[in-house]
Amino acid sequence: MEFFDVIRGRRTTNGPFLPDAVSPEHQRLLVEAASAAPSHFNSQPWRFVLTEDRDTIEEIARISGESMARLMREGTFWKRYRPYFRFSEAEMEEKRDGIFIDQMPKVLKPFRKQIFSNTGQGIMNRFGVPETLGEDNRKLVAGSPLLLAVLLDRTEYRPGELSGFYSVFGMGAAVENIWLTTTALGMGIQFISTPMEIPENWRRMERIFDVPDDLALMAVYRLGYVPKDAQRPTIDWQSRQRKRFSQYVFRDSCKSPERDDLGASAPSNGPQETTNP
């Protein structure tokens, strides 16, 4: 693929992967791409665990699904992430950020705007939405052929110090390289983030990966090849929109927003929309 096609086509995969194992060659390319990232003083503070072990994947899937159901049922998820939710295409088009839940069972659609109220939460719980989402999530993780844990070396990763910031910065660059590589290889990738939100569940994840004291478990991802005609999960969102240049770029100082038609020969409305599914 062309470089900019890869960048524009990079996506988070919300749906299932093919059951096919990720080839050793592709696994090598993923971690090689990660190591090509920049890091402070070339410290390369990142570490990775690749696993295809079925028992490990099933166990992590259970923890992830359980965590999802609990966060939803207790309302933690909705409260914590409320500012990111959009309720219509029009709102998405105006703000050009956040996520829009456009796929949900018909019976829930009338309640879409109320999910952040106590009544809405009650309705969601009565319809068993937390359990549906938890089970969807468990299945997605369990059906993934490859998991990747991302860790940082604690001698570099010292939160609160500049070195801690640099380490996270470098790790982000390494993960982005992996993310782009999945696009080039016809693969998909998604955070398994719900266990992170429940400290005791994150500790279970650390035990599964035998994380030693000198390493910090930072993130876990599921990876695999993306089917051509992927079916969407029961409840799903879209987040393909991007801000216009004038919404995130300035010229000369923070007082003057950049023009939306920056560098365009024809009038433009900011960054190109991606066409990939």
Ligand X SMILES: Cc1cc2nc3c(=O)[nH]c(=O)nc-3n(C[C@H](O)[C@H](O)[C@H](O)COP(=O)(O)O)c2cc1C
Contact footprint for ligand X (CB under 6 A): 11-12, 14, 99, 190-191, 193, 239
Strand partners of residue 215: 153
Q: In this structure, what token pair is assigned to residue 134?
A: 């938890």
Q: Is 33 in contact with 160 (CB distance < 8 Å)?
A: no
Sign (positive or negative) of CA dihedral 29, 145, 61, 81: positive
146-153 vs 46-51, strand pairing mode: antiparallel
- Measured from each CB, the residue nearest to ligand X is 193
| Min dist. Cβ of residue 222 to ligand X (A) | 10
Q: Which is nearer to ligand X, 181 or 190 (CB)?
A: 190
Of residues 169 and 261, the one with the C-beta less far from ligand X: 169
- Give 99 or 249: the residue with its C-beta nearer to ligand X: 99
11 vs 86, beta carbon nearer ligand X? 11
Nearest residue (CB) to ligand X, 103 versus 117: 103
Q: CB of residue 266 vs ligand X: minimum separation in angstroms?
A: 25
CB of 57 to ligand X, least distance (A): 17
Q: How far is the CB of 223 from ligand X (least distance, A)?
A: 13
- Between CA 83 and CA 86 the distance in angstroms is 8
Least distance (Å) from ligand X to the CB of residue 193?
3
Q: Tell me whether residue 126 is exposed, middle or buried, using C-beta atoms within 10 angstroms of its C-beta: 0 to 12, 13 to 18, 19 or more.
A: exposed
Give least dist CB 255 to ligand X, A: 29
Distances (CA, A) of 131 to 26, 114, 125, 134: 34, 19, 8, 5
The smaller minimum CB distance to ligand X, of residues 168 and 211, is found at 168
